[in-house]
Amino acid sequence: MSFQHDDNTNYPPGFEWYKTERFTYSSLQDNALTEIELNGKRIGILKRQERVYAFAAKCPHAGVPLCTGWLDPQGRIVCPEHKYRFDPANGRNTTGEGYKLFTYPVQLRGDEVWIGLMPPVI
Ligand code: FES
């Protein structure tokens, strides 16, 4: 593992890391929001300032796809529908409406990008 920006090592039972097959770290464009599917989940991806962030693809307010939005100058995700903003590092709703964007831990293993997921709820 070359890089990890998730310090939580106490992952719950069933937690697993999944490699993204669609891209590598070096193939990701800076400051571009990209939606992928990984292990049955829709996940938003952002590479910015040499870090990769993973978050729920849908806005926690009303479910609009966040990757159709944009970034503000501070790198926060702006939802295209009602313009609520979210910090991709921790999901904080920085415009203060009280929502929380779910975020996923990310590891870079060389050029590979791995995302930590819980097993699907059945
Ligand atoms: S749906 Fe995203 S801010 Fe309302």
- What is the domain count for the chain? 1
Label the pairing between strands 106-109 and 112-117.
Answer: antiparallel
Ligand 1 close to Cβ of residue 81 (< 6 A) = yes
Please tell me the predicted confidence (pLDDT) of residue 52.
Answer: 97
Q: SS3 for 68?
A: helix
Closest atom, ligand 1, to C-alpha of 69: 2
Residue 100 lies in a domain: yes
pLDDT at 15 over 70: yes
Please give the residue range of the domain that contains residue 27: 17-116
Query: How far from the centroid of its chain's Cα atoms is residue 101's Cα?
Result: 9
Residue 102 alpha carbon to ligand 1 centre in Å: 14
Residue 27 lies in a domain: yes
When mean pLDDT is compared across 5-19, 53-67, 105-119, the lowest value belongs to 5-19
What kind and span of H or E run contains 53?
A: strand 51-56
Please tell me the predicted confidence (pLDDT) of residue 4.
Answer: 43
Ligand 1 close to Cβ of residue 80 (< 6 A) = no
Residue 39 lies in a domain: yes
Residue 11 lies in a domain: no
- Radius of gyration over every alpha carbon of the chain, rounded to an integer in angstroms: 14
pLDDT at 122 over 90: no
pLDDT at 85 over 70: yes
State the residue for tokens 């193939």: 27
pLDDT at 32 over 70: yes
Please tell me the predicted confidence (pLDDT) of residue 1.
Answer: 38
Residue 85 alpha carbon to ligand 1 centre in Å: 9
Residue 8 lies in a domain: no
For the domain that residue 94 is a member of, what is the CATH number?
2.102.10.10
Closest atom, ligand 1, to C-alpha of 79: 2
Find all residues with CB under 8 Å of 24, minimum gap 6, and list them.
111, 112, 113
